[in-house]
Amino acid sequence: MLVLMKISLTTQLDASLEEVWAALHDPGVFQSVSAPFLRFRAEAQDGFPERWESGETYVVRASALGLLPLGTQEINPVTSSAGMRRQFRDNGRGLTGSLAAVSSFQHTMTLEPSGVGPTTLHDTLEFSAGALTPLMWLGFRLFWSWRHAAMRSLASQWRSGEATRWDSRYEGSAMWSGKPNAALEKAVEGLTPSHVLEVGAGEGADALWLAERGWNVTATDLSLVALTRGEAERQSRVTRDHHPRMIRWVTLDAVHDSLPTPPEKFDLVVNFFGHGPREMRQGLWSAMAAVVAPGGRLVIVGHSPSDLAAGVQRPPEDMMFDAEELTDFFAPLSPSLTVEQWQRQQNGPGDQPVTVADVVAIVQF
């Protein structure tokens, strides 16, 4: 009779979904989280591949503590993706030595955003080793706990250089005022609260403002530190007044990663001051437009290039966009487009108030 035993662990990793996903495909990470208890050597003449590939088979030789030979085993990865969910399944089994006692082996790692910034890993092992199954379960359970601790320790090293740079910017005191952007209230005026996506949420002032007015918010940013700060503020406000604020915080690189969606699409998508090279910002606009539901609204707000003459700190001119660029880009996508400059006051040189302008595009789909 086949006796199956199961180990299930869940942990949160301080990296984005795509960063953790890339790490699971890295044989170097596989070796790092196994050492020193288990050490693996590739049987292939050219060693380990640069990346595990779905549908391929890899044979490795294992030893305990690098000293006691355990035999060889197969690694047979099968991967799948569905929305903001990734699954890495290994159906390998032991081939020789004591590992051959494992007649059935299925290891499944499932990733999804935690909703509070980090990525959640659900890690399940089901195996059978005949009469040795209970004894091996104890060994596997201890080893699985070690693996999870090692992954938590390594996760920060999986962050991209750009993500690390933004995280370091947010690690001190709050970067911004904590107040929502001046254009937000006017840009969403008249809308019935529903599902909203904010791209580039930073420390969450806009996301909190929207949530406090009944919106179900998905807030994304490249900086895990910024989103963690936003969630801490959300919890603080809920603790004070006990009013619900529905916010899902998702760490991602909006330029390179897929944007999340609710069950359908978003009724409102907003982005404030997403400045960057022309190709990058227009690629981001396309990605945001693609997740707006029919009848929904896309709002893009940027610093007007006219601000460069006001003596206030702004991005380089080639990173900024104007009303003409927004009109040319969105006019073919929507018959209902408004592009305007909205003026506001902010402190300039010497903390003296100056008049600046935001260029605002409101695109109705």
Cα-Cα-Cα-Cα torsion 344, 349, 350, 351, nearest 10 degrees, comes to 20
pLDDT for 253 = 97
| For residue 98, pLDDT beyond 80 | yes
CA 325 distance to own-chain centroid: 29
**According to CATH, what is the number of the domain 5-158?**
3.30.530.20
Res. 1: pLDDT tops 70: no
pLDDT tens-digit series, residues 310-330: 888 999 999 999 999 999 999
| pLDDT above 70: percentage of residues in the chain | 99
Using CA atoms, how far apart are residues 87 and 94, in angstroms rounded to an integer? 22
* CATH code of the domain made up of 164-364: 3.40.50.150
Q: Give 173's pLDDT tier (boundaries 50, 70, 90).
A: confident
Kind and range of the H or E run holding 219: strand 216-221
Which helix H or strand E contains 102, and what residues bound it?
none
pLDDT band at 130 (very low <50, low <70, confident <90, very high): confident
Q: Which two tokens stand for residue 361?
A: 């595009």
Q: State residue 270's pLDDT score.
A: 98
Query: Rounded mean pLDDT of 249-259?
Result: 96
Mean pLDDT over 102-129 rounds to 94
184-227 pLDDT, tens digit each: 999 999 999 999 999 999 999 999 999 999 999 999 999 999 99
3-state secondary structure of 117: strand
Question: Does the pLDDT of residue 175 top 60, yes or no?
Answer: yes
What letter would DSSP give residue 180?
Answer: P
> Is 90 exceeded by the pLDDT of residue 178?
no
Q: With beta carbons less than 8 A apart as the criterion, state whether 132 and 101 touch.
A: yes
Per-chain mean pLDDT for the chain: 94
Answer yes or no: are the C-beta atoms of 268 and 299 closer than 8 Å: yes
Q: What is the pLDDT of residue 104?
A: 86
| Residue 228 confidence (pLDDT) | 96
In whole angstroms, what is the distance from residue 78 CA to residue 161 CA?
29
Which of 127, 103, 99 is CA-nearest to residue 5?
127
Beta strands across the sheet bearing 292-303? 116-117, 247-251, 216-221, 195-199, 266-272, 292-303, 353-364, 336-347
Q: Given this model, what pLDDT does residue 189 score?
A: 93
Q: Quickly state the pLDDT bin for 165 (edges 50, 70, 90).
A: very high
pLDDT score at 2: 63
Domain ranges of the chain: 5-158, 164-364
Residue 106 in this model has a pLDDT that exceeds 80: yes
Phi, psi at residue 78, to the nearest 5°? -130, 120
